[in-house]
Amino acid sequence: MEWPCIVIAGPTATGKTALAVDVAHALGSEIFSMDSRQVYRGLDLGTGKDLEEYQRVTPAIPYHLIDIVEPSEVYSLFRFQADCYAALEEFRKKKGNNTPPILVGGTGLYLEAILKRYDIAQVPENPALRAELSERNLEDLTLELGVRSPELRDRTDLSNKRRVVRALEIALSQPTGEIPRSRLPEWTLKPVVFVTQWDRAALHTRIAERLQARLAAGMVEEVQHLRDKGLSWDRLNDLGMEYRQIAALLRGEKTRDAMETDLLHEIRQLAKRQETWFRGMERRGIQVHFINPQTTTDDILAQARDYL
């Protein structure tokens, strides 16, 4: 059975959440976050959850896959896929097959794992192997991943060394006995995919303004609070650029100005990688409709009706 859904994806700071809230409100639907870090409690400003957006309309829009695990836990793609399918199934039972769920976010890998029903093996972490792989350069790791598992290479963010290391960890594993694999639902999502697209200069300006707003709202204090609760420096580094850069500031390794300059550069680089990923989705079999900042909710709904 095919079940229609609407996807609003795109780079960071392009207004995905606000647009998704308006679409969900118009359809009486709910939002499912496709973000690898918004799953963590307490990572609010650093991951740009924009939780106030969901309260902007009446009734407030229910959301899923946000604030579901502690930041000390390592949350895998395998777990995300399982949790997402479970949340979607509950929504389907409540709303029926004619109300499309709204999938929103910037983590292209997580989105495609849901839309394309990736068959994922639950391979345990191997700290010794991971440490060994981390010593090698990204190009070497990518080449070996292509040899070991071309399929896994094709669905891995090859610009992210941590994800390439994890993919190789999976490819190199030699499990004995039965290994858990994805439990796929009986329905298949039929998506209409909208990807936000901004002029590069305008997006850079928006990213800079958003970063300053997040810092003014207490992003440094958010990281300090996580540290005060016992989160290690290593774990903060693993949680992404905002937490890594601010941790360096808190340790006295960077000045405030250097931290802000480096973080701004990293976020802009992230946006570029996200643009590349979403442009490549059509090559991987998913039709994409690019939308600009002037696209309205009515535009989205009118175009979606032609596909759902």
d(CA 111, CA 129): 28
| Residue the block writes with tokens 């090859």 | 158
pLDDT in single tens digits along all 308 residues of the chain: 899 999 999 999 999 999 999 999 999 999 999 999 999 999 999 999 999 999 999 999 999 999 999 999 989 899 999 999 999 999 999 999 999 999 999 999 999 999 999 988 777 778 888 888 888 888 888 988 888 888 778 878 787 788 888 888 888 875 544 556 788 999 999 999 999 999 999 999 999 999 999 999 999 999 999 999 999 999 999 999 999 999 999 999 999 999 999 999 999 999 999 999 999 999 999 999 999 999 999 999 999 998 87
Whether the ω angle into residue 175 lies within 30 degrees of 0, i.e. cis, is no
- pLDDT computed for residue 179 by the predictor: 58
- pLDDT computed for residue 174 by the predictor: 54
Backbone angles phi, psi at 140, to 5 degrees: -65, -45
Any alpha helices (H) in 239-295, and if so which ranges? 241-250, 256-279
Check: CB of residue 304 under 8 Å from CB of residue 10: no
pTM: predicted TM-score of the whole model, two decimal places: 0.87
- pLDDT computed for residue 157 by the predictor: 76
- pLDDT computed for residue 178 by the predictor: 53
d(CA 158, CA 295): 31
Backbone angles phi, psi at 4, to 5 degrees: -70, 145
Print burial letters for 256-294: b (CB count within 10 Å at least 16), e (below 16). eeebbebbbeebbebbebbbebbeebeeeebebbebeee
Strand 188-196's sheet: what is its strand order? 63-64, 31-33, 102-105, 2-9, 188-196, 288-291
